[in-house]
Structure 1
Amino acid sequence: MRLLEIIITKEDKEVLEKLLDIEEVVEKWSSETLDGHLVTKALIRDEHTKELLSNLESMPNCRVIIHPVEGILPKLETPDEEEEKKIGFSKFIAISKEELYSDVDEPVNLSVNFILMVILSSFVAGIGILKDNVAIIIGAMVIAPFLGPNMSMAFGTTLGDLKIIKKSMITGIVSTVIALLISFFWGMLAGDVGNITMDPKLSAEDVVLALVCGFAGVISALGGQGGSLVGVMVAAALVPPLVRAGLLLGGAYYSDALNSFLIFSTNIICLNIAGIITFYLAGIQPGKWWEKENAKKKTRNAFLIWSLALALIIIAVLMIRKMGTE
């Protein structure tokens, strides 16, 4: 359930009343501000918020404040079975595009907390890898903030928002470089790191794992659910191979380091492909029609680029394997 606080001018009153004159709006009430604006509050079910916000976005001089509703007294009646059938596939989308903006923006801010979490997760993952302790590696997955940049990148791509894409790329690159540098110098100082458990050669299972993590991450975000468990899944696909690549590179095990970094790169690509597909199928797009066409073009181009990058990595892996058998 969402409470929308809609602020408009008096001239748009009739237009707003028509938009809110639908069954999905549970309750509404209006008031007038001192400067002559109208404030209308509308209580609406989660699954219908997206469509209404899309219509409100096309109204000039309209501001909407979205409030999540923790509870209502008396309790509202749930939709009957027939209405549930009408909702269909979109039932799992409990959060609007506007709310997603704030959800994907905060995790990609290069704040001191974000950088500290990257550093700490790198150290924890390194200790777990060197000690070959699965429990410690899981601890690194829990605190690693690698879900945000990838989900934000896919979200920005689907909307054709270059600002979000740029911000996500910078955050992703900085976090990757920090983890790689820490593990690289650690590998140089640790002595022989050749006895650590190596990453397996890149396989179809690795690609499937990364795609599943991407789908799960976006569906979790669209459903308005906490992303901590999904974040562990994403960290499982990113943090261990990245830190392992740095340790092996610092220890001069270049071939094994390359294999681990290829797995990390493949996972990044697959996460973004899965994210773009899920956001697109969920109908996440700009509100204005001229922006929609631009966003579709950018989404298509990004999807092709990520797919080409994945194909090149797979070809490179196959060539390396072939050279190794000769």
Structure 2
Amino acid sequence: MRLLEIVIAREAKEALDKLLDSEEVIEKWVSETVEEGYAIKVLTQDEYAKELLNSLENRQHCRVIIHAVEGTLPKPDVPEKEKEAKVRIGKFVALSKEELYSDIDEPVKLSLNFILMVILSSFVAGIGILKDNVAIIIGAMVIAPFLGPNMSMAFGTTLGDWPVIKKSMVTGIVSSLIALVISVLWGMLAGNVGEITMDPGIAYDDIVLALACGFAGVISALSGQGGTLVGVMVAAALLPPLMRAGLLLGGEYYSDAFNSFLIFCTNIICLNIAGIITFYLAGIRPGRWWEKENAKKKTRTAFLIWSLALALIIITILLLRKFEFSTRVMPGN
């Protein structure tokens, strides 16, 4: 449930009352404010809060504060039509874009804390890779803040919000460069880089896995289930292939480094494609009609670019397999 605290001017209250006169509103409380207006508290279900916020977005002289509700006493009454249904599949439950700004966009800031988390997770991942310790590598994936910029970029793309897209791109590029520089220098100094377990050759199921992780990550964010993202961070595996690529590049194992970097790029591309599709299907849109048109154009353009990049990855997989096959059938091998 959500509790919406709406502060509105006196002259706009009548129109708001008509909007709130629906069965989706569980309960509302009205109090007069000192500035010739009203403060209205509205209790509603999660799936209807987003629709209500979309309707309120373009109203002038209106401020909405959103509160998450853990529970109420007494329990809200269930409408009769819902009581009669034995099995009911509800609407796609998603947080409003205002809440998603707080959950997805705000944490993706290139702050000192963010950079420190990237550096620390890079060292943890490097140690795990060199020791061939899966537990350490998983720990690095959990603490690495690499998933956030990609989800934020897909979110900003769907809204056509260039500042969000720009911030996500800068944060993602800087964090990737930090990890890559650390791993390359580490690979140049370490003497046992050639003994690490290599990434397996990239295959089509890697693409399917990355897409599934992207869909799962965005759905968990839309549902407000932040704890589920830990599993997505592990399954998406963004940091380990990047670190492995840098270590191998520093150790002059170029073909193996290219394979690991290809896996990293594939995961980035698929996460963004899945994110754009899921946010779009969830109805994440700007409020004003001209912003919606701008967002559509940016969404189509970004989706086309990511799709072309994925097509390039698929072509690369085909070429690599053809090269491996021709190498195996050559005489004398």
**Same-fold status (TM-score > 0.5):** yes
Deviations 1:79-129 (A, max 9, x none): 525679776342x32x21110011112221112211111111111111111
Structure 2 match to 1:233: 232
Structure 1 match to 2:330: none
Contact 1:2 1:43 in 2 (8 A): yes
Please give the alpha-carbon distance, in whole angstroms, between the structure 1 residues aligned to 2:86 and 2:184.
Answer: 54
Distance 1:84-1:78 versus aligned 2 partners, 3 A rule: farther
Distance 1:259-1:299 versus aligned 2 partners, 3 A rule: same
Please give the alpha-carbon distance, in whole angstroms, between the structure 2 residues aligned to 1:50 and 1:36.
Answer: 28
3-state DSSP of counterpart to 1:137: helix
Structure 1 match to 2:119: 119
Offset of 1:235 from its aligned partner?
4.4
Offset of 1:170 from its aligned partner?
0.6
Structure 2 match to 1:32: 32
Please give the alpha-carbon distance, in whole angstroms, between the structure 2 residues aligned to 1:133 and 1:143.
Answer: 16
The aligned runs of 1:35-50 (5 Å cut-off) are 35-50=35-50
Distance 1:78-1:182 versus aligned 2 partners, 3 A rule: farther
Please give the alpha-carbon distance, in whole angstroms, between the structure 2 residues aligned to 1:190 and 1:4.
Answer: 57
Structure 1 match to 2:213: 213
Structure 2 match to 1:290: 290
3-state DSSP of counterpart to 1:197: coil
Contact 2:194 2:253 in 1 (8 A): yes
Contact 1:32 1:39 in 2 (8 A): yes
Please give the alpha-carbon distance, in whole angstroms, between the structure 2 residues aligned to 1:43 and 1:88.
Answer: 18
Give the root-mean-square deviation of aligned CA atoms: 1.7
Contact 2:220 2:228 in 1 (8 A): no
Contact 2:144 2:239 in 1 (8 A): yes
Structure 2 match to 1:88: 90
One-letter amino acid of the structure 2 residue matched with residue 299 of structure 1: T
Deviations 1:189-245 (A, max 9, x none): 11131111101111011101110110010000111111x442443344211100000
Structure 2 match to 1:191: 191
Structure 1 unaligned runs (5+)? none
Structure 2 match to 1:145: 145
Range that drifts further, 137-146 or 310-319: 310-319
Please give the alpha-carbon distance, in whole angstroms, between the structure 2 residues aligned to 1:312 and 1:65.
Answer: 45
Please give the alpha-carbon distance, in whole angstroms, between the structure 2 residues aligned to 1:186 and 1:82.
Answer: 65
Deviations 1:150-177 (A, max 9, x none): 1101111111111110010011001101
Percent same amino acid at aligned positions?
Answer: 72
Contact 1:121 1:144 in 2 (8 A): yes
Distance 1:68-1:229 versus aligned 2 partners, 3 A rule: closer
3-state DSSP of counterpart to 2:106: helix
**1:56 aligns to 2:43 (yes or no):** no
With normalisation by structure 1, the TM-score equals 0.94
Structure 2 match to 1:97: 97
Distance 1:38-1:177 versus aligned 2 partners, 3 A rule: same
Structure 2 match to 1:69: 69
Contact 1:214 1:234 in 2 (8 A): no
Please give the alpha-carbon distance, in whole angstroms, between the structure 2 residues aligned to 1:189 and 1:304.
Answer: 41
With normalisation by structure 2, the TM-score equals 0.92
One-letter amino acid of the structure 1 residue matched with residue 263 of structure 2: I
Please give the alpha-carbon distance, in whole angstroms, between the structure 2 residues aligned to 1:32 and 1:58.
Answer: 22
Structure 2 match to 1:265: 265
One-letter amino acid of the structure 1 residue matched with residue 229 of structure 2: V
Distance 1:86-1:64 versus aligned 2 partners, 3 A rule: farther
Deviations 1:30-56 (A, max 9, x none): 122222121111111111101111111
The aligned runs of 1:4-23 (5 Å cut-off) are 4-23=4-23
Contact 2:3 2:69 in 1 (8 A): yes
One-letter amino acid of the structure 2 residue matched with residue 10 of structure 1: R
Structure 1 match to 2:162: 162
Count of aligned pairs = 323
3-state DSSP of counterpart to 1:276: helix
Range that drifts further, 312-321 or 29-38: 312-321
Structure 1 match to 2:331: none
Please give the alpha-carbon distance, in whole angstroms, between the structure 2 residues aligned to 1:18 and 1:264.
Answer: 52
Distance 1:128-1:229 versus aligned 2 partners, 3 A rule: farther
Contact 1:286 1:292 in 2 (8 A): yes
One-letter amino acid of the structure 2 residue matched with residue 161 of structure 1: D
Offset of 1:78 from its aligned partner?
4.2
Structure 2 match to 1:128: 128
3-state DSSP of counterpart to 2:172: helix
